[in-house]
Structure 1
């Protein structure tokens, strides 16, 4: 078992790498999806709604299989490595959920804030950057933390597209040693520890954002 544990560590590093890259893509897609859904042009709103509803309303596993097995076939002929498929699939899927979280957070900003910004003759970009978005971020961070934890747990599905992540390595060790209880208990602990580290980082970031907004309001 001591000789095989490094394989589990290798799988953990792959899981962390996939989760980090997919989280960045999910954040980008959340902002893109929200901007599209709130755009004044109807075709752009349709595209934003289509993206959110398709990726939110279908199975993540099927989406990964579609990217991995269907895209390389005619007429698409788009080939991606399993690592790229994992990042794209997870990022687009959870970005759709993140878009709804961000849209709800923006809607939660009191209307008086918009009116005050208009009274100060602020441009739309300045209103969003200095008034609306900072307040919306406070409301969006708690559900966004939950979504990131879901994304971390969702990385276990990438083992089905030949990626040697934590779950894949755990199954390998189980088949090699037949110590099912010990291996999968350790795997649960690793996922739990990774989730708690993510929660601690997000809480620290939330405190920093809240503190910065309070200081700006005092000034």
Structure 2
């Protein structure tokens, strides 16, 4: 039986692994974003206690291994009477670990918003919440997307560690194919190709979010214009193509 025949027979299992990996990545990304925004905002608070709690959480999860965190959640929590679904454990480990990294991206991007924007919103007597929601965060969001894209792709690849707790993800299924074929064909073709395709699709989606975020700020073409086959319109200021 040829390698491609083996691949055809294993394709349903491979696709199942792809969906598991996607679920872990997207679930982990959603949790990481919630954690990142929360900790990123806390790390900017003038209150020393709140800022200190945020820094402690960020440094702990950045400074310890994702594998150790995963095993701790899977093996230690049940001993404390907390039993979690194995998929949720994977999502939680990814979200906590990458959420800590992303918190620094959020904090740094907010700090990078021009000081004039802060001063203008203060002059308009906006509350701190209103100022952050309507003025500062939309601008910071456009700045943080490229870094968050890198972390999302890193999370996709890092999700392979869930095989340590018997989650049958893409890497686990590819390894099964390697055992069936008795060669490294599975990793060389199926593994690399699958991860690359998923990563490329996620990158395209994040790039579209970046275009949309910048357009909402008046800093570039809209997503529709970017995807259109029509030639770009002349700039309103210069009368020439951008």
- Aligned pairs for 1:1-219 (under 5 A) are 1=6, 2-73=8-79, 76-214=80-218
Equivalents in 2 of 1:3, 1:183: separation in Å? 16
CA distance in 1, matches of 2:84, 2:47: 33
Q: Give the superposition deviation at 1:183.
A: 4.5
Aligned-partner Cα distance in 2 for 1:114–1:69:
47
Mark the runs of 5 or more structure 2 residues left unpaired by the alignment.
Answer: 1-5, 220-235, 237-242
TM-score by length of 2: 0.85
For the Cα contact (< 8 Å) 1:30–1:99, is it kept in 2?
yes
Distance in 2 between residues matched to 1:34 and 1:168, nearest whole Å = 34
Deviation at 1:200, TM superposition (A): 0.3
SS at match of 1:7: helix
- The CA deviation string for residues 51-71 of structure 1, in whole angstroms up to 9 with x for no partner, is 100000111111101111112
- Structure 1 residue 3, shift from structure 2 partner: 1.2
Structure 1 range deviating more: 91-100 or 28-37: 28-37
Contact 1:170 1:184 in 2 (8 A): no
Which string of whole-angstrom CA distances, capped at 9 and with x for unpartnered residues, describes residues 3-36 of structure 1? 1121111101110011111110000000111122
How high is the TM-score relative to the length of structure 1? Answer: 0.93
- Number of aligned residue pairs: 214
Q: Structure 1's 23 and 170: CA in aligned 2 closer, same or farther, altered over 3 A? A: same
Q: Post-superposition, which runs of at least 4 consecutive aligned residues in structure 1 deviate over 6 A?
A: none
> Which structure exhibits the higher relative contact order, with contacts defined as CA atoms closer than 8 Å and separated by 6 or more residues?
1
Q: Distance in 2 between matches of 1:157 and 1:182?
A: 18
**Conservation of the 8 A alpha-carbon contact between 1:56 and 1:96:** yes
Which SS does the other structure have where 2:126 is aligned?
A: coil
Shift, 1:77, TM fit: 2.2
* Alpha carbons of structure 1 residues 183 and 57: separation in structure 2 relative to 1, 3 Å: closer
Gaps of 5+ in 1: none
Contact 2:178 2:186 in 1 (8 A): no
